[in-house]
């Protein structure tokens, strides 16, 4: 058996892609290892979205080079692959700067990985960052059933890739290309396979997941809302989630699905990025702060307990203290259960990087600190709000201490419980006893638990 080590950075799409790369290489006799020193192939699955991503990859490659040298000393060969969005953006430049690399492969070409590895046996430095015309999803087979990777209880399923929105700060439309949706039948078939392999929670993912417009078995174009209704019928799938959404694509059908589908979890990650209309316009977000407030109102009237999450960027070019105050005001008004916030980082090749009025680093850092303090306060308040309630918890893995199990609430909060008689994969009603800083603690509530076999 040959060993494969994959290190993924960045978004859920990369986590999913790592699984697919492992599946693509499994028929070649590769199994995964958690130890890079033990690996015949090392894949760095990179992210290009923010600060110094490329630099981080080059320093990681320095470490990989040392491992490769040590292994070579022991007569063992190591192939090094750079995949993901830095591979797409940098291409052959990576081979020039890091001769240790054997293969550079962009996200559109993972189905060609076995062939690229074979070419790398004969040639020095193979690059594939083409945007193929054919549908890459068609060429990425799931591994044959017995070899299906253990995906645990909760799995990602890509339904859409790429983005046509062109926010002026973002590299995604350049690295991941135009929006493509997978046909409904393929998504459903993959969901059924995951369910058979023991998965109980599926998060459908895409860079712009709610822009989904896949071809339905009836020949019509299906929206995300319609797809979720269909996925809710897949046996044994107890929970559905989706990420990441764009405010422009939060249509009535999707919002109604939150009211109708018990399996659709009350959690929505809906990036707003900023609270000032002037900045939203400069970001080419194509919505105002009030548009966002109205969407939140509609979603909350469909599902009053929904937990909201968002992404924020501070210090976009031209952002004044008044603009930033608008972001804080929006956060105060909406109230978020969790959030991700970042300092603006100019990405070469994006329009934002060329704009006047770049904000000094200290100003960005200071604003980020204020925003994060507010968001953290809201997160803790949301968590405290679940103390005393009984919520369903899907048990996903062993807990911190022996005998404990860890899982997630419908609102995506981590929970630890005393395991006693429960198993990973069970969906258990849990009374939340207290909120720690990163996790809730609870006890199984009375009454029979729903077991994985139910």
Tell me which residues touch ligand 5AD (CB under 6 A).
49-50, 169-170, 271, 273, 311, 313, 342, 344-345, 347
Q: Tell me which H or E stretch contains 116.
A: helix 113-122
One residue of 45, 129, 160, 208 binding ligand SF4 per CB under 6 A: 208
Q: Fill in the DSSP letter of residue 344.
A: -
The residue assigned the tokens 């919505």 is 287
- Binding flag, residue 165, ligand SF4 (CB under 6 A): yes
The CB density around residue 284, as the number of other CB atoms within 10 Å, is 14
> Which positions ≥6 away from 111 have C-beta within 8 Å?
24, 136, 139, 140
Closest CA to 424 of 150, 119, 129: 150
Residue 104 interface partner, choices ligand 5AD, ligand SF4, none, CB cut-off 5-8 Å depending on type? none
The two tokens of residue 375 are: 């968001």
- Binding flag, residue 440, ligand SF4 (CB under 6 A): no
One residue of 6, 11, 21, 170 binding ligand SF4 per CB under 6 A: 170
> Which positions ≥6 away from 235 have C-beta within 8 Å?
192, 195
Q: Fill in the DSSP letter of residue 273.
A: B
- The piece of 60-68, 162-170, 377-385, 418-426 that touches ligand SF4 (CB under 6 A) is 162-170
In whole angstroms, what is the distance from residue 401 CA to residue 409 CA?
A: 19
Binding characters for ligand SF4, 242-281, by CB under 6 A (x = yes): ----x-----------------------------------
Query: Shortest distance, CB of residue 87 to ligand SF4, whole angstroms?
Result: 18
- Binding flag, residue 89, ligand SF4 (CB under 6 A): no
CB nearer to ligand SF4: pick between 211 and 308? 211
- Binding flag, residue 167, ligand SF4 (CB under 6 A): yes
Burial 225-252 (b: 16+ CB within 10 A, else e): bbbbbbbbebeebbbbbbbbbbbebbee
Residue 49 interface partner, choices ligand SF4, ligand 5AD, none, CB cut-off 5-8 Å depending on type? ligand 5AD
CB nearer to ligand 5AD: pick between 72 and 166? 166
Let me know: does 279 contact 317? Beta carbons within 8 Å.
no
CB nearer to ligand 5AD: pick between 110 and 169? 169
In whole angstroms, what is the distance from residue 81 CA to residue 41 CA?
A: 7
Residues of the chain by 3-state class (helix, strand, coil), percent to 5: 40, 25, 40
Total residues contacting ligand SF4 (rule CB under 6 A)? Answer: 10
Let me know: does 347 contact 85? Beta carbons within 8 Å.
no
Q: Tell me which H or E stretch contains 89.
A: helix 84-90
CB-closest chain residue to ligand 5AD: 311
Residue 344 interface partner, choices ligand SF4, ligand 5AD, none, CB cut-off 5-8 Å depending on type? ligand 5AD
Q: Fill in the DSSP letter of residue 39.
A: -
Beta strands in 78-161 (DSSP E): 79-83, 103-105, 126-128, 154-158, 160-161
One residue of 33, 88, 207, 245 binding ligand SF4 per CB under 6 A: 207
- Binding flag, residue 163, ligand SF4 (CB under 6 A): yes
Closest CA to 364 of 311, 324, 328: 324
- Binding flag, residue 341, ligand SF4 (CB under 6 A): no
Residue 309 interface partner, choices ligand 5AD, ligand SF4, none, CB cut-off 5-8 Å depending on type? none
Residue 166 interface partner, choices ligand SF4, ligand 5AD, none, CB cut-off 5-8 Å depending on type? ligand SF4
Query: Shortest distance, CB of residue 309 to ligand SF4, whole angstroms?
Result: 14
Residue 163 interface partner, choices ligand 5AD, ligand SF4, none, CB cut-off 5-8 Å depending on type? ligand SF4
CB nearer to ligand SF4: pick between 350 and 416? 350
- Burial tier of 276 (Cβ tally within 10 Å: 0-12, 13-18, 19+): buried
Query: Shortest distance, CB of residue 314 to ligand 5AD, whole angstroms?
Result: 9
CB nearer to ligand SF4: pick between 173 and 225? 173
Closest CA to 393 of 419, 353, 428, 342: 428
Query: Shortest distance, CB of residue 267 to ligand 5AD, whole angstroms?
Result: 16
Query: Shortest distance, CB of residue 179 to ligand 5AD, whole angstroms?
Result: 16
CB nearer to ligand SF4: pick between 156 and 411? 156
Residue 182 interface partner, choices ligand SF4, ligand 5AD, none, CB cut-off 5-8 Å depending on type? none
Footprint of ligand SF4 on this chain (CB under 6 A)?
163, 165-167, 170, 172-173, 207-208, 246
């Amino acid at each position: 058996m040959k060993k494969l080590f994959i290190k993924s950075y960045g978004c859920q799409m990369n986590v999913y892609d790592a699984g697919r790369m492992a599946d693509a290489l499994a028929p070649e006799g590769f199994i995964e290892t958690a130890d890079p020193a033990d690996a015949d192939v090392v894949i760095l699955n990179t992210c290009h979205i923010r600060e110094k991503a490329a630099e981080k990859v080059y320093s990681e490659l320095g470490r990989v080079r040392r491992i490769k040298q040590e292994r070579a000393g022991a007569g063992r060969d190591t192939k090094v692959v750079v995949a993901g969005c830095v591979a797409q953006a940098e291409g052959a430049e990576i081979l020039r700067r890091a001769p240790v690399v054997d293969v550079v492969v962009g996200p559109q070409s993972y189905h060609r990985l076995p062939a690229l590895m074979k070419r790398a046996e004969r040639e020095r430095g193979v690059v594939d960052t083409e945007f193929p015309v054919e549908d890459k999803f068609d060429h990425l087979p799931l591994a044959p059933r017995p070899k299906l990777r253990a995906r645990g209880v909760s799995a990602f399923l890509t339904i859409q890739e790429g983005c046509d929105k062109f926010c002026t700060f973002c590299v995604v439309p350049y690295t991941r290309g135009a929006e493509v949706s997978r046909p409904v039948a393929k998504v459903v078939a993959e969901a059924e396979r995951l369910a058979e392999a023991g998965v109980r929670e599926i998060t459908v993912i895409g860079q712009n997941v709610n822009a989904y417009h896949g071809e339905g078995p009836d020949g019509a174009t299906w929206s995300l809302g319609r797809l979720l209704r269909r996925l809710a019928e897949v046996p044994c799938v107890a929970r559905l989630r989706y990420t990441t959404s764009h405010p422009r694509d939060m249509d009535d059908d999707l919002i109604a699905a939150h009211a109708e589908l018990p399996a659709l979890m009350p959690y929505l990650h809906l990036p707003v990025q900023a609270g000032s209309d002037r900045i939203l316009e400069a970001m080419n977000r194509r919505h105002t702060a009030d548009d966002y407030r109205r969407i939140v109102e509609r979603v909350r009237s469909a599902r009053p307990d929904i937990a909201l999450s968002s992404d924020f960027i501070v210090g976009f070019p031209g952002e004044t203290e008044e603009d930033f105050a608008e972001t804080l005001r929006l956060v105060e008004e909406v109230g978020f259960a969790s959030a991700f916030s970042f300092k603006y980082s100019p990405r070469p090749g994006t329009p934002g990087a060329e704009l006047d009025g770049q904000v000094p680093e200290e100003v960005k850092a200071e604003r980020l600190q204020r925003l994060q303090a507010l968001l953290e306060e809201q997160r803790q308040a949301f968590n405290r709000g679940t103390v005393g309630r009984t919520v369903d918890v899907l048990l996903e893995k062993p807990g911190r201490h022996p005998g404990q199990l860890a899982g997630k609430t419908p609102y995506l909060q981590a929970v630890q419980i005393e395991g006693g008689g429960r198993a990973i994969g069970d969906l258990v009603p849990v009374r939340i006893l207290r909120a720690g800083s990163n996790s809730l603690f609870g006890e199984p509530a009375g009454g029979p638990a729903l077991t994985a076999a139910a």
